């Protein structure tokens, strides 16, 4: 796989969903086109920008300037940074602010931020006046390649991650790669876990390319934009075929059943970012697949080696405060996994691997085998 030469024109990835189709616009400085694209898409619409305090420092005025240049009125709603806002209280804050801003059904909500802001603002848009359209402007690598695409919105419950939400597709995604310049190395690494996931679950050649070129992806430039566009195309293709996750789309949850349980166990805190939980979860899924004889031990080791090479956690013991809050308790982790959205009639389904690039849905996995596997990993 080779990287295409850099072009001034942004890459456009189509999400084909009939009359709800939309485009992902990928490129450096494409945020400047936000107002122009919204004006073309929704003439006369007003907007409300939902963002968090950290993102607002860097990108809010630029987004507002683009909207103003296109003659689009906007208001701003600023929430606290992190998962603390992806709660009942955060949803109430944003929803009431949207009502106070008099956002009507023909207006637009603009989600300017990472995955938390996108999920929160999208869910508020989904329930405001029984549905208002929204635009995703992701500002983290994780959001660019994953949460901004596909229409999953929601908030966390104290009992688990993303247990409350709605499918509500955006009408446009503006994926400006310049926003990644302001990310901390840790946040970028966490987002990279989702990039690697696309190779592990369905594109062996892309995973091989990442093994050779991850340094350039981290450095920026054409390799980074190629990795983002490849990831977005992979997700867009799956979402187009299975919007509501009745089948194939569940493969995108590779690593998430384990990862979400770990996030819940750490209180949805900065002790474990979502992408870090996914990285550990992917390793656990690969190693459990190897234990079941589905994948070669060498392939599981290869996945683990690549994630560790870029600086992501790959062991349960890598989590800060590992021995706290049930992290060293297999039964507690099993209880959290039982709240996963892929549980059907009380039976746990897992996304496992038959090889690198060959994810599969395994139904009704024996809980005793998962518990024994976790106990083994906890003892290492």
**pLDDT mean over 231-252:** 94
Tokens of 256: 């998430």
Q: Which residues are catalytic?
A: 130, 152, 194, 235, 245, 249, 253, 256, 260, 274
Q: Where are the domains of the chain?
A: 11-182, 185-378
What element of type H or E holds 77?
strand 74-79
**pLDDT mean over 330-355:** 83
Reduced to 3 states, what is the DSSP secondary structure of residue 133? strand
pLDDT band with cut points at 50, 70 and 90 for residue 59: very high
19-38: per-residue pLDDT in tens?
999 999 999 999 999 999 99
pLDDT band with cut points at 50, 70 and 90 for residue 5: very low
Contacts of 144 (CB under 8 A, 6+ apart): 26, 138, 175, 177, 180, 191, 228, 231, 232
Reduced to 3 states, what is the DSSP secondary structure of residue 283? helix
The Cβ of residue 167 has, within 10 Å, a number of other Cβ atoms equal to 15
pLDDT band with cut points at 50, 70 and 90 for residue 321: confident
Reduced to 3 states, what is the DSSP secondary structure of residue 237? helix
What pLDDT does 3 receive?
47
What pLDDT does 2 receive?
42
What pLDDT does 267 receive?
86
Between residues 187 and 343, the one the model is more confident about: 187
What is the full DSSP assignment across 220-266?
-SHHHHHHHHHHHHHHHHHHHH-TT-SSGGGGGGTTHHHHHHHHHHT
Q: How far is Cα 180 from Cα 141, in angstroms, rounded to an integer?
A: 7
Q: Is the pLDDT of residue 145 over 50?
A: yes
Kindly list the distances between the CA atom of residue 270 and the CA atoms of 118, 130, 227, 262, in Å, as whole numbers in the listed order. 18, 33, 26, 12
What are the phi and psi torsion angles at 340 (to 5°)?
-60, 145
67-114: per-residue pLDDT in tens?
999 999 999 999 999 999 999 999 999 999 999 999 999 999 999 999
Residue 201 sits at the vertex; the CA angle it makes with 197 and 205, to the nearest 5 degrees, is 90
What pLDDT does 326 receive?
56
Q: Would you identify the CATH topology of the domain 11-182?
A: Rossmann fold (3.40.50)
CATH superfamily, region 185-378: Dehydroquinate synthase-like - alpha domain (1.20.1090.10)
- Identical fold for domains 11-182 and 185-378, yes or no, is no
Q: What is the CA radius of gyration of the chain?
A: 20
**pLDDT mean over 272-292:** 97
pLDDT band with cut points at 50, 70 and 90 for residue 8: low
Of 115, 166, 172, nearest to 139 (Cα)?
A: 115
Q: What is the distance between the terminal CA atoms of the chain, rounded to a whole angstrom? A: 37
**pLDDT mean over 233-259:** 94
* pLDDT, averaged across the chain: 93
Q: Is the pLDDT of residue 347 over 60?
A: yes
Q: Is the pLDDT of residue 343 over 70?
A: no
303-319: per-residue pLDDT in tens?
999 999 999 999 999 99
Strand extents, DSSP E, 292-340: none
Judge whether 128 and 65 are in contact, CB under 8 Å: no
Between residues 191 and 221, the one the model is more confident about: 191
Judge whether 122 and 86 are in contact, CB under 8 Å: no
- Report the share of the chain in percent with pLDDT over 90: 83
**pLDDT mean over 51-66:** 98
What element of type H or E holds 361?
strand 359-362
What pLDDT does 348 receive?
85
């Amino acid at each position: 796989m080779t990287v295409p030469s850099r072009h001034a024109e942004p890459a456009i990835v189509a999400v084909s969903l009939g009359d709800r189709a939309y485009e992902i616009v990928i490129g450096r400085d494409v945020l400047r086109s936000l107002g122009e694209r919204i004006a073309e898409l929704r003439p006369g619409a007003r907007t409300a920008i939902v963002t968090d305090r950290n993102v607002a420092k860097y990108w809010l005025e630029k987004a507002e300037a683009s909207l103003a240049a296109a003659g689009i009125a906007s208001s701003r709603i600023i929430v606290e940074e992190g998962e603390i806002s992806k709660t009942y209280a955060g949803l109430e804050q944003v929803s009431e602010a949207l009502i106070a801003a008099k956002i009507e059904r023909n207006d637009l909500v603009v989600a300017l931020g990472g995955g938390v802001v996108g999920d929160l603002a999208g869910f508020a848009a989904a329930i405001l006046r029984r549905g208002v359209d929204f635009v995703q402007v992701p500002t983290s690598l994780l959001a660019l390649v994953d949460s901004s695409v596909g229409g999953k919105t929601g908030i966390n419950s104290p009992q688990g991650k993303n247990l409350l939400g709605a499918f509500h597709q955006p009408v446009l995604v503006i994926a400006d790669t310049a926003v990644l310049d302001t990310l901390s190395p840790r946040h970028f690494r966490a987002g990279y876990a989702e990039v690697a996931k696309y190779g592990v679950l369905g594109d062996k050649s892309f995973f091989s390319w990442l093994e050779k070129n991850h340094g350039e992806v981290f450095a920026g430039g054409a390799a980074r934009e190629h990795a983002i566009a490849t990831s977005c195309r992979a997700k867009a293709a799956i979402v187009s075929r299975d919007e509501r996750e009745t089948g194939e789309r569940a493969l995108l949850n590779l690593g998430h059943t384990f990862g979400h349980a770990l996030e819940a166990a750490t209180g949805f805190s900065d002790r474990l970012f979502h992408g870090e939980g996914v990285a550990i979860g992917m390793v656990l899924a690969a190693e459990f697949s190897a234990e079941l004889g589905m994948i070669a031990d060498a392939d599981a080791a290869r996945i683990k080696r690549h994630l560790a090479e870029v600086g992501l956690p790959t062991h349960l013991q890598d989590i800060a405060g590992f021995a706290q809050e049930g992290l060293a308790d297999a039964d507690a982790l099993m209880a959290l996994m039982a709240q996963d959205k892929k549980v059907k009639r009380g039976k746990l389904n897992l996304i496992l691997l038959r090889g690198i690039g060959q994810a599969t849905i395994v139904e009704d996995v024996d809980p005793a085998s998962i518990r024994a596997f976790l106990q083994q990993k906890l003892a290492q």
